[in-house]
Structure formats: C-alpha cells, structure tokens
A and B are shown apart, each in its own frame.
Chain A
Amino acid sequence: MTKAGDWQSYKRVLLPPVKDLHHLDVYRAGGGYEALRAVLSDWKPDEVTEEVKRSGLRGRGGAGFPTGLKWSFMPPVKPNVPRYLCCNADESEPGTFKDRQLMEYNPHLMFEGILIAGYAMSLKACYLYVRGEFANWITLLQDELSKLYDAKLAGSNILGTGFSMDIIMHKGAGAYICGEETSLMESLEGKRAYPRIKPPFPAQSGIWGYPTTINNVETLACAPLIISRGGDWFAGVGANKHPGPVLYGISGHVNRPGVYEYPTGMLITDLLDIAGGIRGNKKLKALVPGGASVPVLRADMIDGVTMDVESLHEAGSMMGTAGMLFLDEDTDMVAFLRRVARFYHHESCGQCTPCREGTGWMENLITRIDDGEGNLRDLDLLLDLCDQMEGRTVCALADAAAWPVRNTIKRFRGDFERRCRPSAWAVNA
C-alpha cells in the first residue's frame, strides 16, 4: 500500500466527472456554493481558518507553505483598513499547466474557494491575477464571474448574509517573475514587477500597503472541499504530511501526457504507468518532478519515491507545482540545461546583480559546453556561480535558476564531461 492509499478507485473531487461543470447552474445543482452558504451562516471566520489548518493543506503553487498558517498570519481586523486576497493564476513555471485546466473546467470551485478565504480573513476584495497569455481563459472567467454577480454570489451582501466581497480580474502581460508573490503585488499596483524585500511580509504590508494574502488557484479550489467534507477527510487523503487531491501535469516523452487528478503521495512509477509509460518503449533518463526550478532526478533515483514534500526531499528534489516532465534515454541533458538557463536569463527581472548577471553567465557557459567549446573547468565554474547566486537576491528566482544547474551537473556529470574539451590545466590538482 502506497501513501496514496487505494488510488485505483480514487474519485476525482477537483475535477469531478460532470459535464459542463463550468456553468454556474450545473455547479450549483451538484451542491456548489453550499459550502459557502454554510460558512457564511454558521461559521465564525476563525473556525474556517482552523478547519483549513486541520486539513493540513499546503500551497499548490510551488513553495508548499501550509495554507491555514498563512491565513492566520493576517493581522486583526481594523476599521477602515481594507484587506485583500490575490489569487495567483500567473502559471508560468515551465512544465506546469494544471491551473489553466482547472480554470477552464471547474472555475466555480476556485471562485467559491476565493469567497470562503475572503470570509475567513474578512477581506474586501480578491484580485485574480491571470497571466496575459491566457487571454481566452480570462474571457471565459469574466463570463462566469458576471453570472456570479448576477446570482448575488459575489459583490455586496452575498446570499443575503451581509458579507460583501468583490472579485476583480487582473490581466498580466507575460512575465514569469509575476508568479512571485511580492512581484505580483508590484505588478498589480501598476509598476514594473520587481520583487520586494521581505519582511514586511504581505500579511503586514501587501498591495498598496494593506494586509494581503496570496494563494494559488488550486490551493483556493481545495477550500470548498475542506469545508463541505471536513478537514479530517482532507487530511486522510494521500500522504499524511502533505495531504489532499492534487493535479499532476504530466508532459514530455510519455504516451499519454495531460493533467491527472490523484491524491498526493503517488509513486512516481505509478504515475508514469498512468501516463502510458515512455514513448516508443524507450527507457526513462530523467524526471523533473515539479516545474523547471526543482532539481532533476535520474531514472535510478525514483524507485519508491512518492509525490509529497517528505519523500521528494529525501530523494533530493522538491514537489514544486507537480508539473512532471519525463525525459527518455535519448535526451541531451546539456541541451536541456542550456534551455533552462536561457529561460531564467530571459525571465530575470534585472533588479539584483547576482541574478541578472549570473543567469546570463550560466547561459553563456552552458552554451559554450553545448557547442563543444567548453573546458572541464567550466563545470566547476558553473557550480561556483551557483554558490554566488543562491540566497543573495531579493526573491527566489536566482535560487530557482541555481538549483537545476547545480543538480543537473551533479547528477549527469558524465554527460557534461564528455562534451567538454580536456582541460589545459589540471583540474583539482
């Protein structure tokens, strides 16, 4: 028995098999917005936060921070100080495509989650920050949102209970950095999206200096499930230190890529089987378990590893966004790393020198190795560069750029050494 339990008979809850679930009336017919009604009429705000804490829900946006704890960081309510929620739908981590599917197929679960979070933290409004590339999905969401307002499920006096909250759409314009919470706030304020130094944390001083909480789409979509089925039910799904249903976005060299909903704690090998195995009967070479910034795993490192923070940490990687990229035996890891480094070079916002310059040098060095002109020394230079970048910048983008470089070189060193020219000077002499 794996941590995921009896996953073969798992019934989907984030994306239950109901036709046209994106329509408000279909969603309501299936018991939608009943969790919100229950919360607004019978629960105290603190009780909602406590229930989310009990559920053990961790953020699904990459960092995996406990959501209930994050909600409890909001300061006590003061008169005339508005408080905000930002729903982070700026899904730009390479390898991740789950939030887009959730917003397309079950947007009201997210909206209900937003409103429940709004009640729990006594918020004035939620800004739904969707990346600009999702223009079509923004239109779809706006349609559903206007229906929500018409049905008095958003805006003032929701369901006649006196609770008021607005949901406001914000359209990004193509910047990976906006997925970082403080950068997202700067972007919302109509500035260049340069991350802010923490502290002060968003709960103390967020958008326009007001208390703010930022949660991922999938995280908020879990809130109605926790309310309607209970925090204990949620805590019992999947791995106990990292429970709940999760959307696995599987891509790369597999026969059946796509977004799959299963509990956390799934064996990686099981997920590979679900996705139809590696294309063309090839062997697996490498796996990126949670988006570009998490360390890559070699095929021989995944036996018995499950998709939850604990097990992946032991294996030397991270859960990230659960966007899993499988790569087959023909993959050129140098080319892979070159593209990853290029991504970070392009997306570095340019605020901190170690990141702005470091990501560029990383790309240059890896390009040199990929072109067959690198020296063995370059590998150690790259690792040294990682040390110089990690933890020396305002946000975690430099760390996110350094981790894959460090770990890909460490775990596939042979691939890199074969591409380098023998050094003119003795290495480690």
Chain B
Amino acid sequence: MADFIRNPVVALPDSNPEAHFSEEELVFTPEEKAKIAEYVTQYPTPDGAVMWVLWLAQEKFGFLPPEVMRLVATELSLPYAQVYGVATFYTQYYKEKKGTYVLDVCTCFSCQFCGGYDTLAYLEEKLGIMRGHTTPCGRFTLREAECLGACGSAPMMQVSNGPYAYNLTPEKIDALVDAMEAGQPLPFISVTLPQDEDEMGGNRRTDAEAVERYAVPPVAKRTQ
C-alpha cells in the first residue's frame, strides 16, 4: 500500500513546471488573433474553437506546454482546466517537446499483419531509438500509432501530423528519411483506386502531386 502512495499510478501534472517560453514569446500576432476571432464566430460559444486554437498554438510553438495552454485559455476566456483537459485528451496534441519530424507508424491490425511492426523495428534500428523516443539530435520522434485510416496501403506512417507515406519498404523508408534530413517537403500522395486503374487507366486527379497504387502487402515477420 505504501508503495502505491509513494508511486501513484497516474502521472500527475507538474504543478510548477519550468517554462519553455518566455513572457515575450507567449503572444499571438494580430494575424493569429484575427484567425482565432474567426474560429470563435463559427461556434455558438467560444469553447468550440478550443481545438482549432490548440492546433494553431501547436503549429506556432511546436508543442503545448502548460504556459501555452494557459495562453490559449486566456485568449478564449476559458478556465485553464478546460483547455488542459482537452489538450491532454487527444493524442495529436504534443504535451512535450518532439523532434522536428514525428513519425507515427501505424501498427493497428491491418498494418500489424502487413508489416507495420517490421517498419517500426526497421526505423528503430535506423534511427537508433526506441518507439516513443526522440533522437539526440532532436530531428526525429518515433511513435507507434493506432489506425490512421489507410489500411489498404499497409504498412504506412504519418509524418508530423501531415502527409501519409504508403506501402513502406526499407528502400522507401531510407529515401524518406534522407529527404527529411535534407529538409525537403514530403508530397501529398493520391492513392489510385483499383477500379479507376481498370476503367480510367490511372489516377483520377490530374492535379495530384504524387500518385501511388494499392499494392500487394508484404509478409509480416513481427506482429508486436
């Protein structure tokens, strides 16, 4: 029992964390304020805009430490507890500092049996970090993600809450990591529907940045 009291099961929020940002940094620019005002008008009460404003703050500051959540709360005139509650409920809001690129590798069951864990293990080895960690250079964070909704193109991953990368192979991962290290933006890829391939001879979006097809999934070596 004593152990339980000394080591609570739930990690409690730090009541007095060291601030990551100074007072001068913790301001929204007039353009951002205008954007926030626009979000607020879209909902009957300002509460509805919380998620959008947290997204905006995360884009600006990179992650959401308590002082940024406090800034969002002040901006929307909401209790800090509510903003804290929302920010900690969702997995895509980063509560601690992440790498420049966050690699979310999907391992949910379609990906699990089509090489999701092989991809994760390959990345762990390549980047020299375990899942859930950031490289010492601060460039990559590797995470295991729940279903990202691209089950037909397994294995796949999402980069920094942005573009998806489909049908991953070791060669493809190498090329992707090289591109990220060189700072190149990753393209938005349209995946061609099998019926489009038959009836239209390829992707239906002529303005697609990059095109891929649904492919035969690889044989998974690892399933956890």
Contact = CB atoms under 8 A, between A and B. Distances in A.
Nearest to A177: B89
A174 B91 contact: yes
B5 interface: no
A191 B47 contact: yes
A173 B85 contact: no
A54 B195 CA distance: 30
Given A208-B45, A292-B109, A327-B113, A132 B151 contact: no
Interface string A179-198: 00000000111111100000
Contacts of A19: 200, 204-206
Interface stretch (B16-24, B51-59, B131-139, B169-177): B51-59
B71 interface: no
Contacts of B224: 335, 338-339, 370
A176 B108 CA distance: 12
A210 B45 CA distance: 13
Q: Which of A91, A259, A292, A327 gathers most chain B CB within 10 Å?
A: A259
Interface in B162-193: 162-164, 188, 190-191, 193
> Is the interface on chain B under 10, 10 to 19, 20 to 34, or 35 or more residues?
35 or more
Interface stretch (A44-52, A100-108, A113-121, A236-244): A100-108
B12 interface: no
Interface residues of A, number: 78
A259 B50 CA distance: 34
B204 A18 contact: yes
Given A19-B206, A21-B204, A135 B149 contact: no
Nearest to A17: B199
Given A135-B162, A192-B89, A331-B113, A339 B204 contact: no
B127 to A, nearest CB: 22
A43 to B, nearest CB: 29
A95 B153 CA distance: 11
A260 B86 CA distance: 37
Contacts, number: 205
A166 B146 CA distance: 32
A253 B114 contact: yes
Contact of A343 (B146, B149, B153, B196): B146
A280 B161 CA distance: 34
A347 interface: yes
B146 A332 contact: no
* Interface of B, helix, strand, loop or mixed by DSSP: loop
Given A96-B151, A100-B149, A253-B113, A174 B90 contact: yes
Contacts of B43: 168, 188, 190
B217 interface: yes
B161 A135 contact: yes
Interface string B61-101: 00000000000000000100010011001111100000000
Chain A to chain B: the 7 pairs with minimum beta-carbon distance, closest first: A190-B47, A173-B90, A174-B92, A190-B50, A251-B151, A258-B214, A94-B147
19 contacts: A20-B204, A82-B44, A92-B146, A93-B147, A95-B110, A95-B147, A173-B54, A173-B91, A174-B90, A188-B43, A192-B86, A249-B152, A251-B151, A257-B151, A257-B154, A258-B194, A259-B193, A260-B194, A343-B108
Given A18-B204, A91-B149, A251-B114, 17 more contacts: A17-B199, A20-B207, A171-B52, A172-B51, A175-B89, A190-B47, A190-B51, A190-B86, A191-B82, A192-B85, A251-B152, A257-B154, A258-B214, A279-B217, A292-B147, A339-B112, A370-B224
